[in-house]
Structure 1
Amino acid sequence: MLSSRSLRHVVLALAATLAVGCAPSLKVNVLQPARVNLGAAKRLTVVQTEGRKGARDFLIDELTRQARGEGYFQVADRSDEGIVVKVAGRSVQILSTGSGPAQTQDEIGVRIDVNDWDAEKKTETVKDTDSKGVVTEREVKFYEAKTVVSVTAFNASGKALLAEEEYEMVGRGEDKDAALGNAARSLISRILFDITPKYVTKSIRMDGDDKAQKPIIEVAEQGNVPRAITEMESYVQTNPQNSAALYNLAVLLDASGKYSEALDLYTKAISLSAKDYYVSMKAECAKRLADQQALAQ
């Protein structure tokens, strides 16, 4: 049984949790860079492929299909134009420009080398249990494929953002082609996961302590953030030392993607009232600004 002191601690912790849960907040969708940041580029151009032709064609088709489905990158195939690239550390040298135009600033060149593309027939024992609990065994035959490729992705200045990075996937299927197709599809999915920025939903807590700001906060929570900004700016002009007003205006600008302006206001609010969540929300805003700058390169 809990002592009165321990019970008091539990009640206080629960109250704090409920208070945070009831605090007003804004949800925003923010774009975050992938593991491999390709900057502002949204065009992928396959300039060279090496290895088995059937495998190369399948990978290009699958890259095009999956990229179209995700809706972020556009893919072009220029692998038949005679472009030749050489990877040297984190740089790429264009040994032959081929017959088409030069690479543009908003374009990422891609070289794909097929290192392994094969499947073998296998057998495994599967146990089945019927409704009476009787266990029987049967053999299942299938093909297991292994696909391995090296990928190089580079920008117009010749910087290799991926430098011969190896990807390997295993797939199963009823026949050899099905197994290879399953492995290759997973492999392309993995590559796109590594390079495609993703939208993430974030919740930015507001300060509801000043009851006079409640109508403005409600306007923001209903989705009219521009109007809330205008009203909060007026409130700040007449209450320049109100930490909650400065903080909430920072939140509204943060939610609008105006991260630099928001950071200045977060700093002013913290100088007047260093509430823990003021500091944490400022740190998250700084991360969003860094992500925005990284994606604009």
Structure 2
Amino acid sequence: MLRSRSLRHVVLALAASLVVGCAPSLKVNVLQPARVNLGAAKQLTVVQTEGRKGARDFLVDELTRQSRAGGYFQVSDRTDEGIVVKVAGRSVQIINAGTGPAQTQDEIGIRIDVNDWDAEKKTEIIKDKDSKGNVTEREVKFYEAKTVASVTAFNTAGKAMLAEQEYETVGRGEDKDEAITNAGRALVSQLLYDITPKYVTKSIRLDGDDKAQEPIIDVAREGNVPRAITEMEAYVQSNPQNAAALYNLAVLLDATGKYPEALELYTKAISLSSKDFYVDMKAECAKRLADQQALSQ
């Protein structure tokens, strides 16, 4: 499970302002799983690399650098411990556990196989126009590199989230080293894009039809959502059949990451009102709950 501090960070990044128009709404930042969901793990451990040594070292260093800059994953290098893993379909078997400690629950093991890592000199013709509109041609020489690596990412149970996934990138430079460096950096960027959860801004629509609730909405607009929740809860107790109050309380709870409680209130509000956006906001809340659960496993 995510640590409480991390979980709060996942579900709670509430904008201080309320966007007011015909339909007021709360803006929240929520963390969504990446294309390849690694669950709650934030530790990437490179346990084995194969292929050209210089390329392997570059990829491990670049993975460490880009992960540090991204601020989500931490990377450790255990390739000198003699760990050997075998990939079979979507499973990974530890053939040799090496000399270090065993993989932990919050750790994702990484194996990198370098398949191609080279550059070749190329020439292209660039067409330009001079001040008189005449077409001129010039020859430009450069290096173009191709880097190909297969990546396996697995958890402590031996489940492979990535199973020998091949990444192929190209890079260009004035010399061979520059071209390969650019291609290798792009390869690592592609990998991290696939596995790193991302914050997205979502807008949750409020129901502004009941004028008596406007002061509570104003409290939320000023950024004091906990107080707005308390006041809306009191309003609901006095008006238990008020669909807008039930719905707006659901929105406030939704915005603070209390998704199960919000879903229950969305359901009650829908039973009392035929407004389409009630159903839409409930569906979005259910998606946020599913994302939260996926990131907590």
Question: Into which bin does the TM-score normalised by the smaller protein fall?
Answer: over 0.9
2: CA distance, partners of 1:186 / 1:27? 33
Alpha-carbon shift at residue 168 of structure 1 (Å): 0.3
The C-alpha deviation readout for 1:85-112, integer Å capped at 9, x for no partner, is: 0001111000001111000000000000
1:91 aligns with 2:91: yes
Query: Pairwise mapping of residues 111-130 of structure 1 onto structure 2 (< 5 A)?
Result: 111-130=111-130
How far apart in 1 are the matches of 2:132 and 2:276? 61
Spell out the pairing of 1:119-268 with structure 2 (5 A cutoff).
119-268=119-268
Mapped partners of 2:112, 2:165: distance in 1 = 10
Offset of residue 131 of structure 1? 2.5
The aligned residue for residue 12 of structure 1 is none
CA contact (8 A) 1:25 1:221 kept: no
CA distance in 1, matches of 2:113, 2:92: 15
In structure 1, C-alpha distance between the alignment counterparts of 2:82 and 2:119, rounded to whole Å:
30
Q: TM-score, normalised by structure 1?
A: 0.93
How far apart are the structure 1 equivalents of 2:288 and 2:169? 33
Secondary structure of the 2:278 match is helix
Identity %: 83
In the alignment, what sits opposite 1:5?
none
Within a 5 Å distance, the mapping from 1:279-294 to structure 2 comes to 279-294=279-294
Q: Which runs of 5+ in 2 are unaligned?
A: 1-19
Post-superposition Cα deviations, 1:142-201, rounded to whole Å, max 9, x if no partner, equal: 011000000000001110010001000011110111000000101100000000000000
Letter in structure 2 aligned against 1:218? D
Distance 2:105 2:194 in 1: 21
Instruction: State the TM-score, normalized to the length of structure 2.
Output: 0.93
Residues 220-264 of structure 1: CA distance to partner in whole angstroms, max 9, x if unpaired?
122111000000000000000000000000000000000000000
* Cα offset, 1:21, TM superposition: 4.7
- How many angstroms apart in 1 are the aligned matches of 2:60 and 2:73? 13
1:132 is displaced (CA, Å) by 2.4
TM-fit CA distance, 1:68: 0.3
Q: Give the counterpart letter for 1:245 in structure 2.
A: A
What SS does the aligned partner of 1:36 have? coil
Over the aligned positions, Cα root-mean-square deviation in angstroms equals 0.8
Alignment partner, residue 10 of structure 1: none
Paired residue for 2:30? 30
Mark the runs of 5 or more structure 1 residues left unpaired by the alignment. 1-19
CA distances 1:97-149 after superposition (whole Å, capped 9, x unpaired)? 11110000000000000000011100000011223222210000001100000
Distance in 1 (alpha carbons) for counterparts of 2:107 and 2:204: 34
